[in-house]
Amino acid sequence: MKVLVATEKPFAKVAVDGIRKEIEGAGYELALLEKYTDKQQLFDAVKDANAVIIRSDIIDKEVLDAAKELKIVVRAGAGYDNVDLEAATAHGVCVMNTPGQNSNAVAELAFGMMVMAVRNFYDGKSGTELKGKKLGIHAYGNVGRNVARIAKGFGMDIYAYDAYCPKEAMEADGVKPVDSAEELYATCNVVSLHIPATAETKNSINYALVNRMPKNGLLVNTARKEVINETELIKLMEDRPDLKYVTDIMPVANEEFAAKFPGRYFSTPKKMGAQTAEANINAGIAAARQIVGFLKDGCEKFRVNKK
């Protein structure tokens, strides 16, 4: 059995060493394809792989067509919008993610970006503090819960909206649930996005929603670029010179944002939320163990596509 790690954005070496230990310890072979620049390299690498570990790497019908021996793809991370689930099901391939394994890393980066933004990107001018400010957590999953935990240490007043999470779970964490996204944005000085990119959420962060934020509002995106209606956010930031936007997922319109909103906009050059040794180890080794469990015992815990 051959397990391929295909990561355009590589894991830390220590995580690859851990993955190798799990895979070779189970008697399988490990192959590595890192920093590839061309889809053909991925086609060539998957053709005899029985299992693949990926990050944000695109697994579409073409890749699945090329992967004749493939039984399982594990997305070492949370969001699996980069995998064509229907095509995987049609090819008889099981798709899993590793929920929660990189959540703390993403949550910590959200705070790194928040502090940077409220301190005016360290330009020397007087900024503001997070203590006492209202933080809105948009979606209360694994990352949202870590954001809430860290926000308590900052002394923030914490609100959350998540249609799929029981309010009691938020209240148990000292978080105030609100009834709608509209209410969250209208209430909070800072909103941190943790929604996945789905048909329902794509383009949903739009002019009308963000315009509800109070004066000097800050929007923090460590989720996905697809959830932002970029055209409308640009228009809103033109109309509202008090608003700031910081993101870990470079917008399609990055150059326009950067040119139009100096001192109010920042994007990391490459998605960095989960790019820590700890998150790489947690998610990478979880992915390797899930593959071994699937190949040896047929365990399908964390499967995300239909059979």
Return residues touching ligand 3PG (CB under 6 A).
Answer: 9, 55-56, 77-79, 102, 271, 273-275
Least distance (Å) from ligand 3PG to the CB of residue 263?
Answer: 27
Smaller CB separation from ligand 3PG, 181 or 279: 279
* Burial class of 113 by CB neighbour count within 10 A (0 to 12, 13 to 18, 19+): buried
Q: How far apart are CA 41 and CA 146, in angstroms?
A: 36
Smaller CB separation from ligand 3PG, 109 or 160: 109
Least distance (Å) from ligand 3PG to the CB of residue 193?
Answer: 12
Smaller CB separation from ligand 3PG, 229 or 276: 276
Least distance (Å) from ligand 3PG to the CB of residue 31?
Answer: 19
Strands 51-54 and 2-7 come out as parallel
Smaller CB separation from ligand 3PG, 23 or 143: 143
- Vertex 79, ends 170 and 46: CA angle to 5°? 155
Residue closest to ligand 3PG when measured from CB atoms: 77
How many CA atoms are closer than 13 Å to the CA of 280, on its beta-carbon side? 17
**Is residue 245 classed as helix, strand or coil in its secondary structure?**
strand
Least distance (Å) from ligand 3PG to the CB of residue 132?
Answer: 30
Q: How far apart are CA 150 and CA 130, in angstroms?
A: 11
Strands 190-193 and 72-75 come out as unpaired
Q: How far apart are CA 66 and CA 44, in angstroms?
A: 8
Smaller CB separation from ligand 3PG, 109 or 118: 109
Least distance (Å) from ligand 3PG to the CB of residue 167?
Answer: 25
Smaller CB separation from ligand 3PG, 106 or 234: 106
Smaller CB separation from ligand 3PG, 264 or 271: 271
Smaller CB separation from ligand 3PG, 79 or 251: 79
Least distance (Å) from ligand 3PG to the CB of residue 297?
Answer: 25
Least distance (Å) from ligand 3PG to the CB of residue 173?
Answer: 21
E strands, the chain, are 2-7, 29-34, 51-54, 72-75, 94-97, 134-138, 157-161, 176-177, 190-193, 218-221, 244-247, 265-267
Single-letter code of the amino acid located at 194 = H
Least distance (Å) from ligand 3PG to the CB of residue 15?
Answer: 11
* CA proximity to 114, closest of 145, 90, 136: 136
* CA proximity to 227, closest of 256, 254, 247: 247
